[in-house]
Structure 1
Amino acid sequence: MGRKEVIMSVEDAASMIKDGMTIGIGGLLTSNHPMAIIRQIIKNGVRNLTVVGSPAAGLEIDFMIGAGIAKKVATAYIGGETLAPIGPFFRKAVVDGTIQMWECDEAILCAALRAAAEGLPFYPWLGGVGTCLPEINPDLKYFEDPIKGQKLLAVPAIGLDVAVLHASWGDPYGNVQYIGNTYADILMTRAAKKCIFQVEKVVSNEEIKRNPYLTKANAVDALVPAPYGSHPFASDGFYALDKEHLKEYVAAAKASIKGNPELFEQYLKKYVFDPESHEDYLEIIGIKRLLSLYQY
């Protein structure tokens, strides 16, 4: 009996995400986000997701909030650095109380994922002791270390139903390799019941074996071929950030929170609902724009 192949389409992979799930979204700030699958999740009309972002998430989580699919968010940061220091939809939703925010810093979020990955109910943590975080987030509990008697935080495990991530390449059997910084992605894969990776390209198992030290995940549940799948964000080693596109998004988001939703509705229609596939989305972006992203 041969090994099981796990190659899947964007549409089939996105269909694994159901209403009310807790999902992890990989990436770091302005790079390596699974945007092809995120757009399809929005298109599928999924609702009431608990979204666990990278400890330093980018505007992809802001986009999910604006599209109305997230009810709760856990991450330490949502923004686009100089493009948008704080995500427009995220800021408004938190102020208005339309989403729940699981307050944490980067290390505490990693501790929560680590606890889930190791099958623990919580992870002991010293960071945050003496701060207001346990007052803001009542899930963080003080306890006394039984060995030395010092005060520590119990950080509860955050388990994921599905982790959705973007990587450089993988083979048909679900062995995934990265160029660049994986940050908390690997913790997400270990904390999740199921794991979806979209990749820039599919390579042979022999290619994977040539550089085994690059392998960061294996036996994943779905491997999705999605060239330019992180657009408009960067993909390390492949293409740079599309700043002009993200400026278009930020302008539409800011207009929407100021009472003029038409621009964001047009953005969703053009880039999410009108394209029938990821390839159709790329045609809308255009080959000239995509090739220009090779100019770092």
Structure 2
Amino acid sequence: MAELLSLREAIDRFVSNGDTVALEGFTHLIPTAAAHELIRQGKQDLTLVRMTPDLVYDLLIGAGCAKKLIFSWGGNPGVGSLHRLRDAVEKSWPKPLELEEHSHADLANAYVAGASGLPFAVLRAYAGSDLPKVNPLIRSMTCPFTGEVLAAVPSVRPDVTVIHAQKADRTGNVLIQGILGVQKEAALAAKRCIVTVEEIVDDLQAPMNACVLPTWALTAVCVVPGGARPSYAHGYYERDNRFYQQWDPIARDRERFNAWVDEFIRGTADFAAYQAKLATQEAN
């Protein structure tokens, strides 16, 4: 059963140094507040899993929280490269970063296998691809029924999955609305799952066939309004395109990046304080 906790307490209790941590959300509902809190608490040696690493993982990598990245694409959407990711890979700053690259279909199926309690996923993929040459975990196998050669990859079973959603009820059931990525699969594949939400309500009023994560599948629910910014939360706020553009020059320079993290993340008590500080800066 999910506990209703502050994000600070949930990260402190349920994320340990050396854990495999998945922060999932596709286009919207990206758990930015949780990434900030991992940095505030100085979590180290994390293996980060995400289908589309963007600003949240650029932050975690640049802040020295990560030792490995399992992913299927990485970039600042609509802008360009993740400069902290590139610096870690190319120049080992602030520390070396191990990469494990997959395709989108591969990683999505690996989450499904993890959620299903299976050791690996099977899919039709990688014909003519060079990716298996750089990722030895992508194997081939022969179907025992048809003789067809298929790709096989290990399942993804994070120690902790963190997602953001619109709302939860008072018993900890969570409703996700809008575009779905692999939040459900990542949540069910994990040993522990933390969900940040915009609000707590008495009744989810979930429409038919909605994605509802039951409280028994979750570990903690944390109320963090705006917790997906600068990505958007369907029905709550829009994407902050300007922030994605502003991030590029911040992340390009090591000193500027460190100063930004020290001021806006390590220098704030929580995500609400961060949002207030950022709004004050933008108003001046």
Instruction: Tell me if TM exceeds 0.5.
Output: yes
Q: For residue 264 of structure 1, what is the aligned residue in structure 2? A: 257
Q: Which residue does 2:86 correspond to in 1?
A: 91
Q: 2:46 aligns with which of 28, 46, 49?
A: 49
Measured against aligned partners, the alpha-carbon deviations of 1:44-77 in whole angstroms (never above 9, x if no partner) come to 1111101111x23322111111111111111111
Segments of structure 2 that go 5 or more residues without pairing to the other structure are none
How far 1:272 moved relative to its partner? 0.4
* Whole-angstrom distance in 2 between the partners of 1:196 and 1:188: 11
Residue by residue, what CA displacement relative to the aligned partner does 1:98-125 show, whole Å, maximum 9, x if unpaired? Answer: 2111111100001111111111111111
**1:114–1:241 distance in 2 versus 1, CA, 3 Å:** same
Do structure 1's residue 13 and structure 2's residue 10 form an aligned pair? yes
Aligned residues: 277
**Are 1:274 and 2:272 counterparts?**
no
2:9 corresponds to which letter in structure 1? Answer: D
Q: How far did 1:146 drift?
A: 1.0
Determine the structure 2 residue equivalent to 1:136.
134
| CA displacement, residues 179-219 of structure 1 (integer Å, 9 cap, x when unaligned) | 21121111101110111110011111xx2255363343112
Give the conservation status (yes or no) of the 8 Å contact 1:28–1:58. Answer: no
Matches within 5 A, 1:91-130: 91-96=86-91, 98-130=96-128
How many Å separate the matches in 2 of 1:40 and 1:212?
34
TM, length-normalised to structure 2:
0.91
The whole-number CA distance in structure 2 between the counterparts of 1:94 and 1:222 is: 33
Taking the TM superposition and a 5 Å limit, the aligned residue runs for 1:1-296 are 6-15=3-12, 16-29=14-27, 31-53=28-50, 55-83=51-79, 85-96=80-91, 98-204=96-202, 207-209=203-205, 211=207, 213-219=209-215, 220-256=218-254, 261=255, 263-286=256-279
Distance 1:287 1:271 in 2: 11
Q: Given the superposition, is the C-alpha separation of residues 245 and 168 from structure 1 closer, same or farther in structure 2, using an over 3 Å criterion? A: same
Contact 1:61 1:78 in 2 (8 A): no
Correspondence for 1:293: none
Q: Retained in 1: the 8 A contact 2:167–2:204?
A: no
Which structure is richer in relative contact order (CA contacts within 8 A, separation 6 or more)?
2
Secondary structure of 2:265's aligned partner: helix
d(CA) in 1 for partners of 2:192, 2:85: 27
Q: Is the 8 A contact 1:6 1:172 kept in 2?
A: no
- Structure 1 regions of 5+ residues with no counterpart? 291-296
The TM-score with structure 1 as length reference comes to 0.88
Task: Write the distance in 2 (CA, Å) between the matches of 1:289 and 1:8.
Answer: 30
Cα RMSD after superposing both structures = 2.0
